Structure 1
Amino acid sequence: MFRAVSLVISMKLIVRTCAAVAAVSSSLAFATAGHAASLSASELLSLFNGVTQGDMTSNQEVEGRLYVGGNLSGNSLQVGFKDVAPSALDELIVVGNSTINTINAQNGSDVTIGGSAVGTLNLNGGSQGTRTARIGTTFSGTSNMGTTLVNQATSDANFADRFPEIDFAALQDESEFFATLTGAAVNTSDPNNKKIIGAPDASGLSVFTTSLSDLASGGYSIDTNGADTILINVSGVTGTFGMNALGSTGTFAENVIWNFYQATSINVNSAIIGSVLAPLATLSGFNGSTEGSVIAREINLSNGELHSRAFIGTLPMESVAPPPPAVPLPAALPLLLAGLGGLVALRRRAA
């Protein structure tokens, strides 16, 4: 009798434990399924005019939407003149603190800053009262027009949802993968007109290879020749982009990506026509406006502007979405289930 009662108690305990573990497992599966997917390189280049993993310093203008993964500093930033692509995301998103002297958010742009902010915040354009700046902690400055909300990190339960999911390690992986694609060398036989002439494959992609040292001076011209995407893989760790663009640049900027897959430091001395993928690099200078979006570790926007010419091409490896990650069962659950089965068999023999 005592053994039978003990078995019943043990079985109840294990059933309750199994139910609790199963509930935790279910919660983990739900959380994983509900987690927003990280944005790919082409998605980011179409949604944002500029993206940094770390800090950004600005004395200039970013025409479209801007994401700063670290702190924002400098003298001035004008942002939101042109939409890169329609989105519920704010036109300026800063994960860290903002110590820049002046932010001019144009055309009814909204602003989200994860930490604290100082300086002057101008919310220009749009209908009065429809523009909002949301500050994670404190704001010590002047806010003109619109609405400024402070202490959002603690008072707004949905504040974290204002920051998109960006996996910079995955972006680095993409950049490295693009560099493995077979491509033709940029024709540098004429240093004053380095030619990039598209030779698209069946998917519309044309791949080229060059080095940072080849981009330091001279001129270049691009002819898409029917290609939907011109991907230029650039080797080299440090260097200067100093080439001058030749001819009409309005016909290809949205179809070109410069992939600086090794670079850690790039001095931009002339206009870059096309978007830039440089997940490891600090880009500085910008003597001449970049006609396209930029993804970088850090950006020091001293002189030239970032113009909104959103990428419209298609990059390989992004057309098929990866399967959702499997949620493994907690290690203890199979053992508990096996133990439950054994106790049931034992109880039957005892009966």
Structure 2
Amino acid sequence: MHRKQKEAATARSARVWIAGLTGLALAQGAAAAPLIDLGVAAQYSAFIFGDVKAANDVEGRLAVGGSLTANGLSVGYRAPAGSTGPALVVGGDVKFTNGRIYSSAPGSVKDSSAGEGNLVPWDPALAHYGNSYGVFGGQNKGSSSYLDLRAEPKISGVVDFKAAQNQLTALSGSLATLASTGTVAQPWSDISLSGSGKAGAVEVFDILLGSKNKLGGSWVMPSLTLSNVAADAWVVINILNEGDVQLTGGFSGFKPVQEAQGKVLFNLAKANRVKLGWVDGSVLAPKAELYGQGHVEGTVIGASISQAFEIGWEPFTPTPKPQDGHQVPEPQAGWLAALAAAAAALVARRRSKT
């Protein structure tokens, strides 16, 4: 073999070697569990970017970027003991009548919520609770005078709704592109979800409802059954349909993952209207009007609320950050540069031998 041919062969070998190692690095990065963090919204049972036209029972704190209209609303009674700041934040006008803004449970209250999620000490009789307060950035439109509602012209200093909306909308879109880790099957009317079973995994399921699930102008989600998911895993369910989606079916197998952990997230990146029944999990629907008469055990994030439904205190637990040692970091430029330097050294060494 001529010298130039040997050098070309050596260079090809080096390229194959570096390509293989680079592919391995990229594969490791792709396999990393995604970082899922709801940011400031995680401090609230419900975080709504626009108007809330009706509300009756929000167990944790409530943040409303637009205006709030509520009659008989109870809010804040299951926020963790020691919570600071207002239990209610309204960016616009507020009309809040015949309700109560509760303070969080005092430290002396023992847990009496066994089986009701996240094990936050609270007294269902609400006998030991004082009152908290709310702030609003617009006008008070006739709220009950006994409620402690304080005008706050610089509401963005309390909650930056625009920044939160941008962050959460981007997060929703990113989650919708994650690769599936489990299987989705619909042998009969129900949909069965089966995960990988890996400990600490982020299980991802994609659901695109077909024509048989269409009722009028709405996509109707049938009952869901979840299986083969480790006790310490997260579950992300991407519902990919646009338009009106109804989450009103049953949810079998979700409760053990959601309760005391808060690790189930329904992501509706494209929906513009979502009807909620009883849902065991958080709901991220940044573009959607939310309505229904059900109960959501999780953090609720949406564009607006048009009909009152109950919202429990079951905040979503963020996935570990890379420095926590639970994730493989994405390959960095330095790592790839090191590969290139190693390949160059290999080429030089082989040339010296020839």
Give the TM-score band, short-chain normalised.
0.5 to 0.7
**Residue identity matched to 2:71:** N
- Contact 1:204-1:226 at 8 Å conserved across structures: no
CA distance in 2, matches of 1:318, 1:68: 33
**Contact 2:95–2:143 under 8 Å retained in 1:** no
Cα contact 1:278–1:296 (8 A) shared by 2: yes
| CA distances 1:8-58 after superposition (whole Å, capped 9, x unpaired) | xxxxxxxxxxxxxxxxxxxxxxxxxxxxxxxx8433453111011101122
Q: Match for residue 78 of structure 2? A: 82
Mapped pair 1:298 → 2:294: no
Taking the aligned partners of 2:64 and 2:321, their CA distance within structure 1 comes to 26
Counterpart position of 1:143: 145
Q: 1:201 to 1:227 in 2, by over 3 A?
A: same
Matched, 1:170 2:174: no
Give the 5 Å matches for 1:43-122.
43-44=39-40, 46-83=42-79, 87-107=83-103
Q: Is the deviation greater in 304-313 or in 275-284?
A: 304-313
Deviation at 1:203, TM superposition (A): 5.4
State the partner residue of 1:208: 205
Verify: 1:220 aligned to 2:224, yes or no.
yes
Amino acid at match of 2:159: F
The TM-score, its normalising length taken from structure 2, stands at: 0.62
Mapped partners of 1:75, 1:318: distance in 2: 46
Question: Shift of residue 126 of structure 1?
Answer: 6.8
Identical positions, percent:
23
Aligned residue identity for 2:241: G
Question: Quick check: 211-220 or 65-74, which moved more?
Answer: 211-220
Gapped regions of structure 1 (runs ≥ 5):
1-39, 110-123, 322-351
Deviation by residue 1:313-348 (Cα, 9 ceiling, x = unmatched): 417899899xxxxxxxxxxxxxxxxxxxxxxxxxxx
> Where do 1:1-351 residues align within 5 Å?
41-44=37-40, 46-83=42-79, 87-107=83-103, 131-134=132-135, 136=137, 139=140, 140-144=142-146, 148=148, 151-153=151-153, 160-164=156-160, 166-183=163-180, 184-192=182-190, 194-199=191-196, 204-212=201-209, 216-223=220-227, 224-238=229-243, 239-246=245-252, 249-253=255-259, 254-268=262-276, 270-285=277-292, 287-302=293-308, 304-314=309-319
1:292 CA drift (Å):
0.7
Question: What does the per-residue CA deviation read over 1:234-290, in whole Å, with 9 as the maximum and x for residues that have no partner?
Answer: 11112212211235724435110001011111122x2111001111111111x3211
**What's the counterpart of residue 37 of structure 1?**
none
Q: Could you say if the C-alpha distance between residues 160 and 263 of structure 1 is closer, same or farther in structure 2, counting changes exceeding 3 Å?
A: closer
Provide, for residues 153-194 of structure 1, a one-character-per-residue CA deviation record: whole Å limited to 9, x for no partner: 3xxxx86532256431221111111111110442222323x2
8 Å contact kept, 1:53–1:168:
yes
Aligned equivalents of 1:235, 1:255: Cα separation in 2: 20
Three-state SS of the structure 2 residue aligned to 1:240 is strand
C-alpha separation between the residues in 2 aligned to 1:182 and 1:75?
43
After superposition, the CA RMSD in angstroms is: 3.4
1:278 alignment partner AA: A
Counterpart amino acid of residue 291 in structure 1: E
Contact 1:232 1:259 in 2 (8 A): yes
Q: How far, CA to CA, are the matches of 1:85 and 1:300 in structure 2?
A: 30
Cα distance, 1:267–1:141 mapped onto 2, change above 3 Å: closer
Distance 1:149 1:77 in 2: 14
Q: Deviation per CA, 1:33-92: give whole Å up to 9, x if none.
A: xxxxxxx84334531110111011224201011110100014332100111686433211
Code of the residue aligned with 1:256 in structure 2: it is V
Distance 1:101 1:300 in 2: 17
Structure 2 gap segments, 5+ residues each: 1-35, 106-125, 214-218, 330-354
> Per the alignment, do residues 150 and 248 of structure 1 end up closer, same or farther by CA in structure 2, a change over 3 Å counting?
closer
Question: Which structure carries more relative contact order (alpha carbon 8 Å, separation 6+)?
Answer: 2
